[in-house]
Chains A and B, each alone.
Chain A
């Protein structure tokens, strides 16, 4: 009996979950017959089983709830939220009882009479909605519901009795579903002759019910005719065939194609885990066998081993599959939650769930269930506005929360999107200040997106009042912690007034991860591929070497200074790489890395190539690479937004590894997140990049993700990556790094002199070499550092004395240049530095530098004299862009503040186009655009081009929303000019 109850409990819990979902659906589609009969069936099964198992309390509640559903199904009771709530209440009661039953094995004592009374009220038509007079036209008045009930009640009772006899409700239901297969003329009196078989009897009765149902449906469909409705229905008797058929079509599929019930079997998870371990071991053994086979030229084992190989692979895959579950399982509660919330809060919310069939590991599923629920609640509670607010904002009254899951790479992405009010940045700012998380000054320097990230901090809730639902200030930080715990990440995009989108990226499975196998100090380690961004090989020949500041290593990765940490030092292991005798010296140079690594111009000699999927992850043949010695690898790793490099001795391959938890006595070592057994049977430790990041001094959590924003801010208006060099007189010079195409060392012996200038053959072309004013003439031998600038097909080299450094600095031109190729002088790295106006220098050496591009539209006469307003708070960019625009033939007005621009508008100035920076003090570009686009603005039809270094999709989206026509990256001169001419010609045509 205990077993039976246990079985019943699991089954009922599942059914109840399904009921929750179905009922919400039903509320939205009250006429869905399939759904109705499905719900009825589920409830009925619960009731039936309870009766069988002797659980009277459960049975009673289920029975009375079923009664109402019976009326729903029969169509004589309208599905309205109040009734659904009532049913939910019963379901909750059932759940409570079941929970207790699960714990104690006993049905708890308790009184359900109140609930039952409520249920009966509805069933017997005594409740407010049914007796409340004909006010509600859609509700059938009691007069006609009563007779209808009289008709259906006995039928129901009889049906129930039958079930009582047969104890097999499913069978009956099948019959129920198949009724329409019988011709309608078989409808007979309800009194069945005893000699008829039970099946026939049931079928006939069901048939009669269907006919009745159809008739009643008609009756309820025309409630206005109510007083005479019942007779009318009777008169329609001869025509019943049609409605019956129609009802049949909706009601259930024909008996023949009843959906096949999926065969399933409950298996204890431990059994699966065990199976998994054994399969791993089997794979291992297979690999060893194959290894042996390889050493043998011809062996009679080869064919069977190949077969074994395939079977084992399939087996592994199969076992893996047993762990996978559709994400919809984690979502099943959400429709109910949203429904309850919307009623509680008086909002109209529509929940859309896409990609519910996307599968992921059970373990992961369990871990994201709560965060997901929390976030959906949040979206509904904080995100979606009240209907009147929505209407006032010009949005449909019903808000939408969209859940979307899909696979991407080895990950699953879950998006939670709402079209609510978005995040209120000002409110967040206030809270941040109140909580002392940042100073006003810091906030002022942050982008909106950065500020929004604060909601992931503990103790920060933007809900103005604490509701029962959310707003207690615990939540998003917990959500983020939980997601990061399983190696996932969460992103937030929100536009005030438009809604928010959270995107969660999580690994498909925790059990198996793709990892990069590296070696340090003679030991191998696995680094989860998820964290690996890029690999860099450094050897003697590399152009860029590892540098150190007081013993702390750094590496210049493109324009960024990458903090490095040596794995051998970190793990306190001695480097013994060179003379280490190893059984197998595996070493490969081509390493498959994540897609991000496919970056051009990686300043290393080693071009990292993306490898195709290894044909069999466990079976690699390693080749010894000669250039291996004396070289280091940097594994560029990203945690949240913190980028750092791990120096390792060797990099092998990527492998799919089965993550196993570390032993208790080792779990305090933060550097490791687990251990695994490799294909060759050896145990290796899995490095925890987060732990390493922590060990490098970078704290976990909030700060890490903020640092990305910092970085992006650095490349923004405030800070510019600069290349510092020396040329001519002693003062250091600076040029924006992004303008420099390459840095080269040119052998002066190869410099030639032609058409009045120095030339060098460079990449199959002649490249003129120019020098800074005041520089000594070029020597004739030795290496000459050269900055290469490229414009279209043309390159030009600027010979400099010395390349000093790359730095990020705020360019604050303090002394304006005197037109000698300098924008002016600024303090960079505490030294007075000349900021070079590269454009002028290049142009003075080649008159055609910015022109003569026949293929580009700019510089055309049509553009001449077009008036452009350029707004940028940074003098550097004003100084750089305005000559450029002038050269292209535009008439440029330059302003440093958007407020000034608005003043010009008031004065009645007019322009053909406005180029505006985004991040500016006082009034940023977005706000400015809104002003420009406002109704009474005289400039509302002017083309607006945003100029920014933040060309993230979110920014662009936001830009488009506020009214920018185009988005241009700051340093992309070509794009800027093209965009201008394009926008202007479009504007002219319009």
Chain B
């Protein structure tokens, strides 16, 4: 049911050193996103989600994670993307925010990457306004660009 990805807390020295940061990469609509690894609690496969009537569109429901209730968030909707077509196995990343758990439903979960600070850049001015709010900046990688997802912001925008 739930498969915990190997997300180990890396050497704290590395963090303090500041030369690089670790991100769990996820893919949404073929775009690569990164979530700071320390924010990630769990990675889940398909879950039985209870719909919450009258909830904001971005909330797809609630689920039970080992006795705790987790609010499932459809990140595609948060980013103003259309629903995913066809049937896919749903994946989600569980994060904790303000003492509560949220499960971010995304398309795919990738690896944990160690990214160098020198590759970081703040949000390009032309970035989609939807995205700009929830992006903490980007990392240039070989052949692709990774958007750093600002999880607290993402959740905040739903609340509004």
Q: Is A552 an interface residue (CB 8 A)?
A: no
B160 to chain A, nearest CB (A): 9
What residues of B have a CB within 8 angstroms of the CB of A284 in the complex? 67
> Per a CB cutoff under 8 Å, which of A281, A521, A663 touches B71?
A663
A572 and B57 CA atoms in complex are apart in Å by: 13
Find out whether the CB atom of B67 lies under 8 angstroms from the CB atom of A664.
Answer: no
Find out whether the CB atom of B55 lies under 8 angstroms from the CB atom of A669.
Answer: yes
Find out whether the CB atom of A685 lies under 8 angstroms from the CB atom of B100.
Answer: no
Contact A665 B158, CB 8 Å, known A677-B69, A683-B62, A683-B63 = yes
B12-20, B45-53, B104-112, B117-125: which one contacts chain A? B45-53
Contact A685 B67, CB 8 Å, known A663-B100, A665-B158, A666-B59 = no
Find out whether the CB atom of B155 lies under 8 angstroms from the CB atom of A665.
Answer: yes
Contact A281 B69, CB 8 Å, known A683-B50, A685-B52 = no
Find out whether the CB atom of B52 lies under 8 angstroms from the CB atom of A666.
Answer: yes
Find out whether the CB atom of A682 lies under 8 angstroms from the CB atom of B64.
Answer: yes
Write the chain B residue with the least CB distance to A276: B67
Find out whether the CB atom of B53 lies under 8 angstroms from the CB atom of A573.
Answer: yes
Find out whether the CB atom of B69 lies under 8 angstroms from the CB atom of A675.
Answer: yes
A681 and B2 CA atoms in complex are apart in Å by: 14
A667 to chain B, nearest CB (A): 9
Q: Is B80 an interface residue (CB 8 A)?
A: no
What residues of B have a CB within 8 angstroms of the CB of A26 in the complex? none
Find out whether the CB atom of B67 lies under 8 angstroms from the CB atom of A281.
Answer: yes
A310 to chain B, nearest CB (A): 21
Find out whether the CB atom of B48 lies under 8 angstroms from the CB atom of A682.
Answer: yes
> Per a CB cutoff under 8 Å, which of A278, A521, A663, A684 touches B50?
A684
What residues of B have a CB within 8 angstroms of the CB of A675 in the complex? 62, 69
B144 to chain A, nearest CB (A): 31
Instruction: Write out, one digit per residue, whether chain B residues 53-84 have a CB within 8 A of any chain A CB (1) or not (0).
Output: 11110010111101111010000000000000
Q: Is A28 an interface residue (CB 8 A)?
A: no
Q: Using a CB-CB cutoff of 8 Å, which residues 667-709 of chain A contact chain B?
A: 669, 671-672, 675-677, 681-685
A663 and B98 CA atoms in complex are apart in Å by: 10
Find out whether the CB atom of B55 lies under 8 angstroms from the CB atom of A683.
Answer: no
A572 and B59 CA atoms in complex are apart in Å by: 15
A983 to chain B, nearest CB (A): 59
A530 to chain B, nearest CB (A): 22
Q: Is B159 an interface residue (CB 8 A)?
A: yes
Contact A683 B64, CB 8 Å, known A663-B69, A665-B155, A666-B52 = yes
> Per a CB cutoff under 8 Å, which of B48, B53, B55, B66 touches A281?
B66
A815 and B53 CA atoms in complex are apart in Å by: 56
> Per a CB cutoff under 8 Å, which of A521, A663, A682 touches B102?
A663
What residues of B have a CB within 8 angstroms of the CB of A672 in the complex? 52
What residues of A have a CB within 8 angstroms of the CB of B102 in the complex? 663
Find out whether the CB atom of B53 lies under 8 angstroms from the CB atom of A671.
Answer: yes
B74 to chain A, nearest CB (A): 12
What residues of B have a CB within 8 angstroms of the CB of A620 in the complex? none
What residues of A have a CB within 8 angstroms of the CB of B66 in the complex? 281
What residues of B have a CB within 8 angstroms of the CB of A572 in the complex? 53-54
What residues of A have a CB within 8 angstroms of the CB of B54 in the complex? 571-572, 669, 671
Contact A277 B63, CB 8 Å, known A572-B53, A669-B55, A684-B50 = no
- DSSP class of A's interface residues: helix, strand, loop or mixed? mixed
A570 to chain B, nearest CB (A): 8
Find out whether the CB atom of A665 lies under 8 angstroms from the CB atom of B59.
Answer: yes
Write the chain A residue with the least CB distance to B159: A665
Name the residue among A281, A521, A664, A676 with the largest chain B CB count within 10 angstroms. A664
A51 and B62 CA atoms in complex are apart in Å by: 56
Find out whether the CB atom of B53 lies under 8 angstroms from the CB atom of A665.
Answer: no
What residues of A have a CB within 8 angstroms of the CB of B62 in the complex? 663, 675, 683, 685
Find out whether the CB atom of B159 lies under 8 angstroms from the CB atom of A664.
Answer: yes
Q: How many inter-chain contacts with C-beta < 8 Å in the A-B complex?
A: 67
Find out whether the CB atom of A278 lies under 8 angstroms from the CB atom of B67.
Answer: yes
Contact A665 B51, CB 8 Å, known A281-B66, A681-B64, A683-B63 = no
Find out whether the CB atom of B50 lies under 8 angstroms from the CB atom of A682.
Answer: yes
Q: Is A660 an interface residue (CB 8 A)?
A: yes
Find out whether the CB atom of A666 lies under 8 angstroms from the CB atom of B53.
Answer: no
What residues of B have a CB within 8 angstroms of the CB of A281 in the complex? 66-67
A669 and B63 CA atoms in complex are apart in Å by: 18
Find out whether the CB atom of B100 lies under 8 angstroms from the CB atom of A677.
Answer: no
Name the residue among B51, B62, B102 with the largest chain A CB count within 10 angstroms. B62
A521 and B50 CA atoms in complex are apart in Å by: 12
Find out whether the CB atom of B56 lies under 8 angstroms from the CB atom of A685.
Answer: no
A677 and B159 CA atoms in complex are apart in Å by: 23
Contact A666 B55, CB 8 Å, known A683-B50, A684-B50 = yes
A683 and B72 CA atoms in complex are apart in Å by: 12
A34 and B158 CA atoms in complex are apart in Å by: 63
What residues of A have a CB within 8 angstroms of the CB of B50 in the complex? 523-524, 682-685
B85 to chain A, nearest CB (A): 22
Instruction: Write out, one digit per residue, whether chain A residues 636-678 have a CB within 8 A of any chain B CB (1) or not (0).
Output: 0000000000000000000000001001111001011001110
What residues of A have a CB within 8 angstroms of the CB of B69 in the complex? 660, 663, 675-677, 683
A571 and B53 CA atoms in complex are apart in Å by: 6
A663 and B102 CA atoms in complex are apart in Å by: 9
What residues of A have a CB within 8 angstroms of the CB of B53 in the complex? 521, 523, 571-573, 669, 671, 685
Name the residue among B59, B64, B67, B159 with the largest chain A CB count within 10 angstroms. B67
Write the chain B residue with the least CB distance to A521: B53
What residues of B have a CB within 8 angstroms of the CB of A807 in the complex? none
What residues of B have a CB within 8 angstroms of the CB of A681 in the complex? 48, 64
A312 to chain B, nearest CB (A): 13
Q: Is A833 an interface residue (CB 8 A)?
A: no
> Per a CB cutoff under 8 Å, which of B48, B56, B67 touches A665?
B56
Name the residue among A660, A664, A665, A682 with the largest chain B CB count within 10 angstroms. A665
A573 and B50 CA atoms in complex are apart in Å by: 13
Q: Is A897 an interface residue (CB 8 A)?
A: no
Q: Is A280 an interface residue (CB 8 A)?
A: yes
Contact A664 B59, CB 8 Å, known A277-B68, A281-B67, A675-B69 = no
A675 and B158 CA atoms in complex are apart in Å by: 19
What residues of A have a CB within 8 angstroms of the CB of B59 in the complex? 665-666
A685 and B56 CA atoms in complex are apart in Å by: 15
Write the chain B residue with the least CB distance to A674: B69
Q: Using a CB-CB cutoff of 8 Å, which residues 460-490 of chain A contact chain B?
A: none
Find out whether the CB atom of A277 lies under 8 angstroms from the CB atom of B67.
Answer: yes
Contact A523 B51, CB 8 Å, known A281-B67, A664-B159 = yes
What residues of B have a CB within 8 angstroms of the CB of A660 in the complex? 69
A134 and B151 CA atoms in complex are apart in Å by: 80
What residues of B have a CB within 8 angstroms of the CB of A277 in the complex? 67-68
B154 to chain A, nearest CB (A): 11
B118 to chain A, nearest CB (A): 36
Write the chain A residue with the least CB distance to B48: A682
What residues of B have a CB within 8 angstroms of the CB of A671 in the complex? 53-54
B135 to chain A, nearest CB (A): 20
B44 to chain A, nearest CB (A): 14
- Can you pick out 16 interface pairs between chain A and chain B where the beta carbons lie within 8 Å of each other? A278-B67, A524-B50, A573-B53, A663-B62, A665-B59, A666-B55, A669-B53, A675-B69, A677-B67, A682-B48, A682-B50, A682-B64, A684-B50, A685-B50, A685-B52, A685-B62
A663-B69, A669-B54, A669-B55 known, 13 other contacts, Cβ within 8 Å: A278-B67, A281-B67, A284-B67, A572-B53, A573-B53, A665-B59, A666-B52, A666-B71, A677-B64, A681-B48, A683-B62, A683-B63, A683-B64
Q: Which 9 A-B pairs have the closest CB atoms?
A: A281-B67, A571-B53, A663-B71, A683-B62, A683-B50, A665-B159, A669-B54, A277-B67, A677-B64
